[in-house]
Structure 1
């Protein structure tokens, strides 16, 4: 059991999402940075589908009612346990009454708290993710509030004293993720169905920087920049969309669909962010500058393989630590 002591708007319970219901208008939801949540679950010895807490407004504090093992991943929010600094991307143990504090991150947007045994809320359509627009899932379909008491599983894996941390993906995968260009985050995308309708403006889409607007949220990132338009007006029927799809409304400033993506839309699609880069986009704060660069299907598959290898290495590290502790017990 944990108690939320201090929180802000938009902090929610999320897992890896709610697949299989888009055809009936139910968005998938799930963590904006699924890689961080997966790593947190590995460190906390949880199954992959376990839910954690996504924190995107700070400061955030929670109190542990019982002894608990927890991991903090994602944005480096200078986490403290009863005032003692914790390393980023780490797992640690809390005693009853201790308070975990997450402070505003210096660079990225979202941190994840994974608790051994997972967050114990009722699944809805196979997922514990919060749908704020649908008001279901998570904790009563809403954001977390001070005073909320949330049940957790009973797992309590063995840890070395002080816990341990892992190499962050930005470091461990630096060879396969492009560095910022002139302060702009480089995001890879595939040209989409209506790409060629934009003529010369399609080139401007790839060549100019875009800024994440303050009108962005978990549903989509609205981008500001020099508007782009199709060469002719095209009347399109509404069609299915998924996270990563980049649509261009009549005003000419793109919208990137994110974790709470609409299930359908009729705006022309100029591109689609590759899945391996969605976690990086999910960590981009409001006001960040982006540049899109064309990718191929082969490159996307190679990146997925690199991510899978990185996660496998972290699982092996966690297993080796657990085996060593069990042998010493």
Structure 2
């Protein structure tokens, strides 16, 4: 069991998402930074889909009520376990009564915490993810509040032999951190209405540094920049959209659909962010700048294969480093 001591309303229980129900109007939900949660789960010996906590509002504090192992991944935020520093991408033992504190990120926007066994909340449509928009799943279908107590799955508790814990090197997967004055590069594929935009609009879309406005949440990010124009007025029926879809409403300012995206919509779609780059959006705060780089299907598939190969190598490595007692 863990107890939440301080939090924000958007911090929630998440796993890798709810799949197979888009045709019924049920979105994916799940953590915004799926690779980070998968890595954290690997480090504590969980299956990849185990539920953890996604933290987007800081400071965040929790108390462990049992001895367990946890892992911190995602945003680079100052973290302490009862006053001891906890590095990023790190797994370590926690004892009953100890308090984990996460401060405001130095870079990135969302941290994830995995716990040995995973958060024990009911499966809803095959997932433990919280759908904050539709208010179901996760812990009572809502964000976490102070005083909430969350059970951990499993009864047997093992501890790491290395008292100080151990970390994972994710530089191969994530590259170097983006500097404050840099735009975040997102690879995109042309979407259904790409050719319905003017040549000038398409050039502008790829050459502009787009600003993430304050109207940004788990449903999507509204961007600010030059107006993107169509070659002609379009009247579209609502049709399927998913995380990564970039729509352009009548005001010409793009919207990127994210984890709790609507399952259908009628705005023209200019592009789709490739799946392997969605984590970059999870770690992009309001005020960050984005740049869209056109790519092709083969590159998008290769990027996913690279991610899966990294996870397989990491799983083999951490099984050797972990060393249970």
Report the TM-score when normalising by structure 1: 0.95
CA apart distance, 1:152 = 0.4
- Residue 166 of structure 1 aligns with which residue? 168
Q: Which residue of 2 is the match for residue 133 of structure 1?
A: 133
Measured in 1, the distance between the counterparts of 2:197 and 2:179 equals 26
- For residue 35 of structure 1, report the CA deviation from its aligned partner: 0.5
Deviation at 1:24, TM superposition (A): 1.1
CA pair 189-137 structure 1, distance change in 2 beyond 3 A: same
SS at match of 1:307: helix
- Does the 8 Å CA contact 1:19/1:28 hold for their aligned counterparts? yes
The verdict on how the C-alpha distance between 1:181 and 1:138 changes in structure 2, with shifts beyond 3 A counting, is: closer
TM-aligned CA deviation for residue 22 of structure 1? 1.1
Query: SS at 2:187's partner residue?
Result: strand
CA–CA separation in structure 2 for the residues paired with 1:293 and 1:206: 6
User: Secondary structure in 1 aligned to 2:216?
Assistant: coil
Q: Secondary structure at the match of 2:223?
A: strand
Maintained 8 Å contact 1:68/1:156: yes
1:81-125 alpha-carbon deviations (Å, 9 max, x no partner): 001101110001111100000001011000001000000011111
Question: Structure 1: which 5+ residue stretches go unaligned?
Answer: none
Q: 1:210-289 maps to which residues of 2 (within 5 A)?
A: 210-289=210-289
| Cα distance in 1, alignment partners of residues 101 and 192 from structure 2 | 45
Deviations 1:34-54 (A, max 9, x none): 000000100010111110000
1:112 is matched with 112
Partners of 2:204 and 2:116 in 1: how far apart? 47
Distance in 1 between residues matched to 2:223 and 2:156, nearest whole Å: 43
CA deviation after TM superposition for structure 1 residue 180, in Å: 6.8
Residue deviations 1:137-190, cap 9 Å, x none? Answer: 01110110000011002343341221100113xx22356x89679610010000
Tell me the distance in 2 between the aligned counterparts of 1:139 and 1:118. 13
CA displacement at 1:257 relative to structure 2: 0.5
CA deviation vs aligned residue, 1:285-320 (integer Å, no higher than 9, x gap): 111000000011111111112111211121011111
Equivalent position of 2:183 in the other structure: 184
**Structure 1 Cα separation of the partners of residues 24 and 219 of structure 2:** 17
Give the number of equivalent residue pairs.
322
* Alignment RMSD (CA, Å): 1.6
Q: Using structure 2 for the length normalisation, give the TM-score.
A: 0.96
What secondary structure is seen at the aligned counterpart in 2 of 1:36?
Answer: helix
Structure 2 equivalent of residue 157 of structure 1: 158
Gaps of 5+ in 2: none
CA distance in 2, matches of 1:73, 1:112: 5
1:75 is aligned to 75
Tell me if the contact between 2:187 and 2:294 (Cα under 8 Å) persists in the aligned partners: yes
Distance 2:49 2:304 in 1: 19
Residues 54, 174 of structure 1: CA spacing in aligned structure 2 closer, same or farther, 3 A cutoff?
A: closer
